[in-house]
A and B are shown apart, each in its own frame.
Chain A
Amino acid sequence: MNTNLKCEDCQELLVLEAYGELSVEQKETVEAHVAACVGCHEERTALARLHAAVDVAAIEPSLELLSACRQDLYREVAEISAATRAMPFWRRMLPEGGFWSMAAKPAMAMALFAAGFAGARLVPASGTPGGPAAGATMSAVRNVRYIEPSADGKVRIVYDEVRQRELTGRVDDQGVREMLLTATRDPEDPGLRVDSMEVLRRRVEHEDVRTALVRALETDGNEGVRLKALEALKPFAGHPAVRTALTRVLVADKSATVRTQTIDLLVNTRRDEPELAGVLQELMRREENSYIRQRSQTALKAMNASLETF
């Protein structure tokens, strides 16, 4: 503990202390300093007075104002929406035109390109058996591969096409399960990853599902997806492979929310685990989040383990 804290440093920490923004260590350091320093003790009291005084100036907007704001907004949104519907389809596809699916963006952009191209040079559908009916299937065009003009003024185009298909079945059907497992790795849409996990969590007893969830928990870049994977894995928190993954996440995940929920899960389901004690001791040494440190400390005490590694 640093007992040589200067008054000016202590006073900076006191500002943070008043908002609960200090780590356990910092709080201990401040306590030790304030106990021995009259000036900083008075500073702490003055800050408490300031907080109490400033609270009286808080403004709570009236419900009438809130209601008026909501009405303004809904009116404006309705106008924008109506104007958007009145636009030609190519204009609606532009981002400022309103909502459209994130996932559809690449295909839409390609479709715009292809539609513009087709308007100038494609022959009518009637003249091209098996070819695209211009306009009707342009949204399926994913990529134009090459273009071959001919002497009679026509042009031959080779393109990739994306078609929407539907698959209905039970989660245990092999095709459905594989599709859901693939969706847990979708690179574009975190929402899709969360949706697939929501369905798969009912089959977490299957190893392939657990493996997918553990992979998502350890590697997904999106915090919400990782939390979803963690939630789905809860019933199997005692499973050796899951537990190993949880300890890795506890040490490595960059999100304090994920780490917090992970330590809760690990500690609530703990047994006699020397490995867990080692991880918790490591956390006591390097974890910044005060809640996680406190949780580690409590768990270590309950395990009759020392708080530090030697």
Chain B
Amino acid sequence: MQARELFDESSLIRAAQHGDHEAFASLIRLYDQNVLRIAMNLLRSPDEARDVYQEAFLRVYRNLHSFRFDCRFDTWLYRIATNICLDHLRKRKVRKEESAVVETRGGALNLLESVEEHRADNNPQRRLLASELRQRINRALAGLTPRERIVFELRHYQGLRLRAIGEALGTTEEAAKNCLFRATQKMRAALGDHA
């Protein structure tokens, strides 16, 4: 992050701390897509991701007065969001395999169909293979422990540095490294020849 952005962000934080709702909304808009993406990728459920979003930002709203610029705001926010995701993951008592179909407020929903497709492909066979691979990867991701999954998600999909991940999870860079290594090994074992 460039210094200029950092200061604009700190101005927003201070204004929000003084009760400026516009500033709070602007602050949220800087990061809410990332938080939703993290929740969606970790929980693979739009409903749960929506709950995580709501809970995370309400915690931010209620506790912003205690934010004292001791760490980066996004580190603090990701710590809150990943802790809530961890709680959700731990609450799932039965997690044999994650199905692509989940129950939502609006009925059954196929996650893979609800996802924005980046690479439109008109070849049915290639689409089928990609779909199979996605399901396999979803199962491989479901085989990781909640912590491994979060580290993998934050590093692989969100591009956070391991040091930042360690801070967000309240642990060390070394522990995050070990987690990433274990997650990668498990993913390789689970995907076998598919990867």
Q: In the assembled complex, which residues on chain A have CB atoms less than 8 Å from the CB atom of B184?
A: 15, 47, 50
- Interchain CB contact under 8 A, A59 and B44: yes
Interface string of B162-195 (1 = CB under 8 A from A): 1000000000000001001100100110010011
Interface string of A201-244 (1 = CB under 8 A from B): 00000000000000000000011110110110000000000000
- The total of chain B residues at the interface (CB under 8 A) is 66
- Interchain CB contact under 8 A, A224 and B32: no
B86 at interface by CB-CB < 8 Å: no
Q: In the assembled complex, which residues on chain B have CB atoms less than 8 Å from the CB atom of A16?
A: 162, 177, 180-181
- Given known A56-B130, A61-B37, A101-B18, contact A76–B49 (CB-CB < 8 A): no
A131 at interface by CB-CB < 8 Å: no
- The total of chain A residues at the interface (CB under 8 A) is 54
- Interchain CB contact under 8 A, A99 and B17: yes
Q: In the assembled complex, which residues on chain B have CB atoms less than 8 Å from the CB atom of A15?
A: 180-181, 184
B114 at interface by CB-CB < 8 Å: yes
Interface contacts (Cβ under 8 Å), in number, total 158
- Which listed residue, B32, B177, B188, touches A69 by the CB 8 Å rule? B32
- Which listed residue, B3, B17, B49, B187, touches A228 by the CB 8 Å rule? B3
Q: In the assembled complex, which residues on chain A have CB atoms less than 8 Å from the CB atom of B19?
A: 98-100
Of all chain A residues, which has the CB nearest B112?
A: A59
* Distance (whole angstroms) from the CB of B54 to the closest CB of chain A: 5
Q: Which of B77-85, B87-95, B134-142 contacts the other chain?
A: B134-142
Interface residues in B1-59 (C-beta closer than 8 Å to A): 1, 3, 6-7, 10-11, 13-14, 16-19, 21, 24-25, 28-29, 32-33, 36-37, 40-41, 44, 46, 49-50, 53-54, 57-58
Which residues of A does B touch, CB under 8 Å? Answer: 12, 15-16, 19, 21, 46-47, 49-54, 56-62, 65-66, 68-70, 72-74, 76-77, 80-81, 95-96, 98-102, 105, 190-191, 194, 198, 222-225, 227-228, 230-231, 257, 261
Which residues of B does A touch, CB under 8 Å? Answer: 1, 3, 6-7, 10-11, 13-14, 16-19, 21, 24-25, 28-29, 32-33, 36-37, 40-41, 44, 46, 49-50, 53-54, 57-58, 61-66, 68-70, 72, 111, 114-116, 118, 130, 133-134, 137-138, 141, 155-157, 161-162, 177, 180-181, 184, 187-188, 191, 194-195
